[in-house]
């Protein structure tokens, strides 16, 4: 066991390191970083910021929480997420789970997904305390609306956008939460969530109790209730089946690009014509033919997959391009066709 002197030295060293990190934030020539590109017209773009990782902590099995510090950071509302640019250039979205009033730091948590697309592995293996990372946002497509009552369903890491909502609910609000996960040890923020409303929170750990009973959860839910769900695809599909108007937060690739029937895409320079099925994206179809096609976030945020459109009417589903840019280009990871055929300059 360490002696008192050792403990004091370690604590002192940690304090000095933390002060040094804060000094680096104030003096970094990269801070504040200018906007990457000024908007041409239409919707404004969020600034890219370089923030310092001042803490990296394992908060549940396979879940790492990062605290990213900066200065006078853009404010956010519960449900918002941040785009994190990883060291390799991949862009991934993580829900903000800290305090929206704190303009000196953002907090995000990420679960390691073995066999995933590589983003979570990069966060877990390469993002370290003391590093600078680039972020964009925050953005919110999962906002907390005014409602007579609330039902939240969160699966595992899906609790991250829900947690700030629970903290923000007015006293006396009627709400309930179903929080599921593989095991209690793998569920982040479990203790805090349970304390927020022991009588309103149902925790279902699969290794103890199996799958959650969604029918029981939704029995007797008032018609004016707002229903929110974030978690694995299977859970979100099951909730949507029962509550078609549920508000979903999806981070899975291609989820926003699916739907609305199949269409054709001609790649004019390559001389190929592809069919994009209803359940898949233009990017997936193009990459099957041209595997070197660049992409990153697969969510319509980063712009890496942008392609010039020569013919056809685009169903734009991104959150990046300005109206002017939409005149002749599209982000093929999320956007689809309104016409039967698109012709791309690739
Ligand atoms: Fe990021 Fe398409 S890959 S916008």
Residue 74 lies in a domain: yes
**Final residue of a structural domain among 194, 222, 248:** 248
Q: Is the CB of 119 under 6 A from ligand 1?
A: no
**Domain span at residue 168?**
149-248
Q: Ligand 1 mean position to 294 CA, how many Å?
A: 9
Percent of the chain whose pLDDT exceeds 70: 84
pLDDT value of residue 254:
54
Residue 12 lies in a domain: no
pLDDT value of residue 328:
94
Q: Is the CB of 304 under 6 A from ligand 1?
A: yes
Q: Are residues 47 and 123 in the same domain?
A: yes
pLDDT value of residue 8:
41
Query: Are 323 and 311 spatial neighbours (Cβ–Cβ below 8 Å)?
Result: no
Q: Is the CB of 295 under 6 A from ligand 1?
A: yes
pLDDT value of residue 286:
94
197: which residues sit within 8 A by CB, 6+ positions away?
166, 175, 177
- The protein residue whose alpha carbon is closest to atom 4 in ligand 1 is 300
Which candidate, 302, 254, 259, 11, places its Cα nearest to that of 294?
302
**Final residue of a structural domain among 116, 139, 162:** 139
Q: Ligand 1 mean position to 305 CA, how many Å?
A: 5
CATH code of the domain in which 92 resides? 2.40.30.10
How many separate domains does the chain show?
Answer: 3
Residue 176 lies in a domain: yes
Residue 66 lies in a domain: yes
**Final residue of a structural domain among 248, 268, 285:** 248
Q: Ligand 1 mean position to 67 CA, how many Å?
A: 25
Which candidate, 54, 156, 144, places its Cα nearest to that of 110?
156
Q: Is the CB of 300 under 6 A from ligand 1?
A: yes
pLDDT digits (tens, 9 = 90+) for 187-210: 999 999 999 988 999 999 999 988
Residues of the chain with pLDDT under 70: 1-47, 252-260
178-195 burial, b at 16+ Cβ within 10 Å, e below that, comes to bbbbeeeebbbbbeebee
Residue 60 lies in a domain: yes
Residue 26 lies in a domain: no
Q: Are residues 203 and 239 in the same domain?
A: yes
pLDDT value of residue 329:
96
CATH code of the domain in which 200 resides? 3.40.50.80
Residue 177 lies in a domain: yes
pLDDT value of residue 19:
43
CATH code of the domain in which 313 resides? 3.10.20.30
294 Cα nearest atom in ligand 1: 3
pLDDT digits (tens, 9 = 90+) for 133-163: 999 889 888 999 999 999 999 999 999 999 9
CA pair distance 4, 27, nearest whole angstrom: 35
Residue 173 lies in a domain: yes
pLDDT value of residue 14:
43
């Amino acid at each position: 066991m360490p002696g008192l002197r050792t403990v004091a030295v370690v604590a002192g060293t940690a304090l000095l390191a933390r002060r040094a990190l804060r000094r680096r934030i104030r003096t970094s020539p990269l801070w504040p970083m200018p906007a990457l590109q000024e908007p041409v017209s239409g919707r404004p773009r969020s600034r890219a910021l370089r923030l310092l990782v001042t803490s990296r902590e394992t908060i549940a099995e396979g879940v790492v929480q990062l605290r990213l510090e900066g200065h006078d950071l853009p404010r956010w509302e519960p449900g918002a997420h941040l785009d994190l640019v990883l060291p390799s250039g991949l862009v991934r979205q993580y829900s903000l789970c800290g305090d929206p009033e704190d303009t000196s730091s953002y907090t995000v948590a990420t679960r390691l997904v073995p066999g995933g697309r590589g983003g979570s592995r990069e966060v877990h293996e390469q993002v370290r305390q003391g590093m600078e990372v680039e972020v964009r946002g925050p953005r919110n497509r999962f906002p907390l609306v005014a409602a007579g009552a609330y039902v939240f369903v969160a699966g595992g890491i899906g609790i991250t956008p829900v947690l700030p909502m629970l903290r923000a609910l007015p006293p006396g609000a009627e709400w309930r939460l179903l929080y599921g996960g593989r095991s209690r040890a793998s569920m982040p923020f479990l203790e805090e969530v349970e304390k927020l409303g022991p009588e309103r929170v149902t925790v279902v750990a699969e290794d103890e109790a199996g799958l959650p009973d969604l029918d029981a959860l939704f029995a007797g839910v008032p018609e004016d209730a707002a229903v929110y769900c974030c978690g694995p695809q299977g859970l979100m599909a099951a909730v949507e089946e029962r509550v078609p108007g549920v508000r979903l937060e999806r981070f899975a690739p291609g989820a926003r690009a699916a739907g609305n029937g199949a269409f054709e895409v001609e790649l004019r320079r390559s001389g190929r014509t592809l069919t994009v099925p209803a359940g898949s994206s233009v990017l997936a179809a193009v990459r099957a033919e041209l595997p070197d096609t660049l992409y990153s976030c697969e969510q319509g945020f980063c712009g890496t997959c942008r392609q010039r459109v020569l013919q056809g009417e685009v169903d734009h589903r991104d959150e990046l391009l300005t109206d002017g840019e939409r005149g002749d280009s599209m982000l093929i990871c999320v956007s689809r066709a309104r016409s039967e055929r698109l012709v791309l300059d690739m």
